[in-house]
């Protein structure tokens, strides 16, 4: 009987740890934002500092994306290079520009203009990088 209980407890523990995620994929320099439950701007947004982002625990299925504020465009270039991301397209407006990338190192993606996108760089009032897209203002 104790052996059965031990095996059951171990099995539950393993299943539980497989469903939990922790920390951030993207490492920034300022605010870190997690997007939960929906792959749209209707998602639940959890804001934290970069220091606390690695402590954030979530159910893997609920995490739909994240973004990180960066100190400058040079930092963004480092992240893009580290991820081996290739630019798919860009757009710009008065005082901002967006670049959209794809990298096989990030599993989640969205389809924009018929192409896979999973890394978004936004430069405006601040510099932010997100996966697959940044929601909100930038």
pLDDT in tens, the chain (138 residues): 677 765 655 444 444 444 444 455 788 888 988 888 887 778 888 888 888 777 766 656 777 888 999 999 999 999 999 999 999 999 999 999 999 999 999 988 999 999 999 999 999 999 999 999 998 755
Angstrom CA distances, 76 to 5, 12, 86, 122, stand at 50, 40, 13, 10
- Residue 76 domain boundaries: 2-131
- pLDDT at residue number 28: 85
Considering its fold, how many domains does the chain have in total? 1
Is 42 a domain residue? yes
Q: What's the predicted TM-score (pTM) here? A: 0.78
Angstrom CA distances, 125 to 55, 80, 133, stand at 28, 20, 17
Residue-wise burial string across 85-96, b where 16 or more C-beta atoms lie within 10 A, e elsewhere? beebeeeeeeee
Is 15 a domain residue? yes
Task: Give the Cα separation of 116 and 133 in Å (integer).
Answer: 11
Is 117 a domain residue? yes
Is 137 a domain residue? no
């Amino acid at each position: 009987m104790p052996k059965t209980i031990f095996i059951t407890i171990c099995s539950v523990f393993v299943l539980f740890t497989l469903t939990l995620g922790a920390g951030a994929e993207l490492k920034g320099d300022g605010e870190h934002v997690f997007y939960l439950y929906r792959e749209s701007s209707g998602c639940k947004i959890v804001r934290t500092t970069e220091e606390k982002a690695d402590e954030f625990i979530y159910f893997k299925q609920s995490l739909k994306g994240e973004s990180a504020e960066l100190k400058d465009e040079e930092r963004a270039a480092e992240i893009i290079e580290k991820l081996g991301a290739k630019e798919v397209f860009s757009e710009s407006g008065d005082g901002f520009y967006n670049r959209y990338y794809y990298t096989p190192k990030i599993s989640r993606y969205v389809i924009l203009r018929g192409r896979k996108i999973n890394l978004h760089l936004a430069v405006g009032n601040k510099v932010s990088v997100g996966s697959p897209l940044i929601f909100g203002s930038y």
